[in-house]
Amino acid sequence: MDLEKYTLGIGDRFAHQGEAQLNALIKAEKAGVHVAPVWNKSFREHQTVGSNHAETKKEADEAINALNWPGNYYVDADHINLSNVGEFLDYANFFTIDVADHIGEKADEEDINQFVKSNTRLIGNTEIPGIQNASQVTENAIREIGEKYLYAAQKAGEVYRFIADKKGGDHFVAEVSMDETDLPQTPLELLVILSALAHKNIPLQTLAPKFSGRFNKGIDYVGDISQFEKEFKADIQVLDFAVREFDLPENLKLSIHTGSDKFSIYPVIGKIIRKYNKGIHVKTAGTTWLAEVIGMCLAGDDGLEMAKRIYRTAYNQVEKLTEAYAAVIDIDQNQLPEPEKVNNWKAEEFANTLRHVPDHPQYNPHFRQLMHVSYKIAAQMGAEYTGLLKKYEDTIAAEVTENLFEGHIKRLFF
Ligand SMILES: [Zn+2]
C-alpha cells in the first residue's frame, strides 16, 4: 500500500463532517492537486468523546461513497502503542506508531554498539545533504543519538510487527511519530533515527518529528520562520539521503502534527516540498471542531446559545481543561473575555473572535485555544450538541469546507 505524495489528516470530533471535509479535497482535485484524505483519531480522543474507530471508519466510508471520491483513502489509528492498538486493527489501514514516551530510554549496550558499528559510513561523510558540518558526525555523536532513540525505534518495531502479523505488511501504511516531546530533533538526529528505524525493518512511509517553535492548538505557528525554513529544508534533504542509504520506502515523507493552524509556515513547507519534489502529510483534524462551532453560532439563536454555553463552561474550568495540554497551548487568562460579556455578543462577534483570521480586529487567539480544548464539554452534552449539528448541517458544512480549503489546502499546496 503506497501512500500518495500529498495527504491530509482530517477527521472531526463527532464524526459529522466527513462530506464537508472531503469536499475541500474535491475542490483541490478540481484545481489540479490530488490530496488523499486520512481520517485520523487517537485513542485519547476516542476516550474523551466516547467514540470508537468503527464510527470513524463508517464516517469515512460514507463520505467516500456519497461523493464518489476518485482515489484511495485512509483511516488512521493515531498515536497508538502496543497497549491500545488492538481495538483499531479491524478499522484502520494507517497506523501512527507513537514512541515519543520512549525517547531517552536506553537500549542494551550491545545493541547500541552494534548500531554504531552499522553506521560507520556516516562518520565524517561530507556528502550528506542537509548536514552542513560533516565534522559533527562523529562516532560519539551517533552513539549519543543511538542512546537516546534506539530503544524507541525497537519499540516502534515491536508495534509494527504486531500490526503486520495481524493485517499483513502490505495492507497498511506505517507512520512513526516522535512529535509529542519537549525538545525538537536536529537534522542529524533525524538521520540517525531513520537509520535506527530502517535497522528495525520498519518500512515507514511517514515520520513525524518534533520541529522547533511552538505549534499551539488552533492558532498559528509561534517561532522564527526563517529558522524553521532552514531546519525543514535540511530535514527534507536528510530524508532523501536516508531513503537511498538505508533502503527505506521511496515515498517516505515528513508528517506534521499538532492541532495548530500552521498558516505562516504552510507557504514555506509548500515551497520546499515542491522544490525537492517531496511529499507531505499534514494533520488538521482539530481545526474542524472550531469551524463547526463557528457555523453553529452563525446558523441560529440556539446554535449561538450552545456556543456561548460551551465557552461559559470552559471559562469556569480553564485549569482543568488545559492541564493536559501544557506543551501545545499558551493561554493568557487575562485575555479571555468574561462570560457575562460574551453572553451579550451577537453571532458575528462570536464567530469573528473565534475564527482564525490573523489580522481581524476581533480575532482572539486565547479564546480560540480555550475553545479548541473544550470539545469535551460538547461531548458531555451528547445529543443536545449533535442535534444542532444536524439541524444546521448546511451552514456548518460550508464553514468546515471553507476553513480546510482556504485556510489549509490553499496555503500549503498552491
Ligand atoms: Zn501528533
Tens of pLDDT, residue by residue over 50-102, are 999 999 999 999 999 999 999 999 999 999 999 999 999 999 999 999 999 99
Instruction: State yes or no: pLDDT of 260 exceeds 90.
Output: no
Please report the DSSP string for 106-117 in residue order.
PPPHHHHHHHHH
Q: How far is the CA of 298 from the centre of ligand 1 (A)?
A: 30
Query: Do 108 and 243 reside in the same domain of the chain?
Result: yes
- In this prediction, residue 111 carries a pLDDT of 98
Kindly report, residue by residue over 128-148, the tens digit of the pLDDT: 999 999 999 999 999 999 999
**Cβ atoms of 202 and 149 closer than 8 Å:** no
Q: Does residue 312 fall inside a structural domain?
A: yes
Q: How far is the CA of 206 from the centre of ligand 1 (A)?
A: 12
Instruction: State yes or no: pLDDT of 258 exceeds 90.
Output: no
Q: Does residue 409 fall inside a structural domain?
A: no
Share of the chain above pLDDT 70, in %: 100
Kindly report, residue by residue over 103-127, the tens digit of the pLDDT: 999 999 999 999 999 999 999 999 9
Show which of 286, 307, 325 is a domain's final residue.
286
Q: How far is the CA of 210 from the centre of ligand 1 (A)?
A: 9
Q: How far is the CA of 177 from the centre of ligand 1 (A)?
A: 7
- CA dist 307 and 348 (Å) reads 12
Instruction: State yes or no: pLDDT of 46 exceeds 80.
Output: yes
| Range 279-307 average pLDDT | 96
- CATH of residue 163's domain is 3.20.20
Q: How far is the CA of 100 from the centre of ligand 1 (A)?
A: 10
Instruction: State yes or no: pLDDT of 386 exceeds 90.
Output: yes
| Range 199-210 average pLDDT | 97
**What are all long-range contacts of 239-246, with beta carbons under 8 Å and residues at least 24 apart?**
239/190, 239/194, 239/207, 239/278, 240/129, 240/276, 240/278, 241/128, 241/129, 241/130, 241/191, 242/190, 242/191, 242/194, 242/195, 242/198, 245/121, 245/195, 246/194, 246/195, 246/198, 246/199
Please report the DSSP string for 240-309 in residue order.
HHHHHHTT--TT-EEEE-SS---TTTHHHHHHHHHHTT--EEEE-HHHHHHHHHHHHHHH-HHHHHHHHH
Q: How far is the CA of 180 from the centre of ligand 1 (A)?
A: 6
Q: For residue 90, how many other CB atoms are within 10 A of its CB?
A: 11
Show which of 286, 311, 334 is a domain's final residue.
286
Residue 391 has which C-alpha cell? Answer: 439541524
- In this prediction, residue 24 carries a pLDDT of 98
Q: How does residue 339 score in pLDDT terms, banded at 50, 70 and 90?
A: very high
Range of the domain at 96: 6-286
Show which of 254, 286, 318 is a domain's final residue.
286
Q: How does residue 285 score in pLDDT terms, banded at 50, 70 and 90?
A: confident
Which residues on adjacent β-strands are paired with residue 254? 207, 280
- In this prediction, residue 327 carries a pLDDT of 84
Q: How far is the CA of 78 from the centre of ligand 1 (A)?
A: 7
Among residues 194, 205, 204, 202, the alpha carbon closest in space to that of 122 is found at 194
Mean pLDDT of the chain, nearest integer: 96
- In this prediction, residue 158 carries a pLDDT of 98
Q: How far is the CA of 185 from the centre of ligand 1 (A)?
A: 15
Among residues 254, 255, 267, 182, the alpha carbon closest in space to that of 226 is found at 267
Q: How does residue 221 score in pLDDT terms, banded at 50, 70 and 90?
A: very high
Q: How far is the CA of 259 from the centre of ligand 1 (A)?
A: 8
Q: Does residue 413 fall inside a structural domain?
A: no
Query: Do 222 and 304 reside in the same domain of the chain?
Result: no
